[in-house]
């Protein structure tokens, strides 16, 4: 027996139609940009927009076919849910912290954000002890710092708003 409460929300067909429309608009936008760059074959070879134009043309055709299929041919699954609420909540448990991590990287840098992200996930999802989670988070952050900043000499983002590493002399 299917829980009707768990099935509310947009249908799979509706999501596929919306995504096909987004892909069509995106491919048209990028084809126009490719044409502005030059999408012809010249005696010297292809212009810089030649290959992107044809890639986005294929994306446009594929998305148009998906849209046609969902609007015209696929009439049997009008109410199949895109995702059940319980599964959507599980996705949000990962998605929201991941988005927060991305913003954290730009604000306070990748090393400190990684420490916090790993520690919070270990405590929240993994149910690890606080001391273990913090120890592992700090360890991973330090190893990342040593690996990229010292060994590879490739600086990763330190933070635009505030650089917590400035307390230890890292600019």
Residue 24's pLDDT is 97
Residue 4: DSSP 8-state: G
What percent helix, strand, coil does the chain show, rounded to 5? 70, 5, 25
Q: How many Cα atoms are found within 13 Å in the side-chain-facing hemisphere of 121?
A: 16
Residue 81 β-bridge partners: 11
The DSSP annotation for 128-145 comes to: --HHHHHHHHHHHHHHHH
E strands in the chain = 41-42, 45-46
Residue 1's pLDDT is 42
Residue 62's pLDDT is 97
State the Cα–Cα distance between residues 109 and 161, nearest whole angstrom. Answer: 9
Residue 150: DSSP 8-state: I
End-to-end CA distance of the chain: 59
Residue 87's pLDDT is 84
Residue 164's pLDDT is 65
- Vertex 148 angle, CA 142 and 154, to 5°: 145
Question: How far is residue 95 from each of residues 43, 70, 88, 91, 102, measured CA to CA in Å?
Answer: 49, 28, 10, 6, 11
| pLDDT, block means (10 residues), the chain with 171 residues | 57 90 97 92 89 96 95 77 83 89 90 93 92 96 90 84 65 61
State the Cα–Cα distance between residues 86 and 4, nearest whole angstrom. Answer: 12
């Amino acid at each position: 027996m299917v829980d009707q409460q768990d099935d509310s929300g947009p249908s799979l067909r509706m999501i596929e139609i919306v995504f096909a429309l987004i892909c069509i608009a995106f491919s048209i936008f990028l084809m126009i940009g490719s044409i502005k760059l030059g999408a012809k074959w010249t005696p010297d070879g292809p212009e810089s927009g030649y290959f992107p134009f044809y890639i986005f043309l294929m994306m446009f055709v594929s998305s148009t076919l998906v849209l046609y299929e969902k609007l015209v041919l696929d009439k049997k699954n009008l109410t199949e849910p895109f995702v059940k609420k319980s599964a959507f909540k599980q996705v949000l448990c990962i998605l929201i912290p991941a988005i927060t991590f991305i913003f954290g990287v730009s604000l306070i840098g990748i090393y400190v954000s990684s420490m916090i992200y790993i520690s919070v996930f270990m405590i929240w999802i993994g149910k690890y002890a606080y001391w273990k989670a913090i120890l592992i988070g700090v360890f991973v952050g330090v190893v990342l710092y040593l690996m990229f900043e010292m060994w590879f000499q490739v600086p990763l983002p330190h933070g635009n708003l505030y650089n917590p590493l400035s307390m230890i002399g890292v600019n």
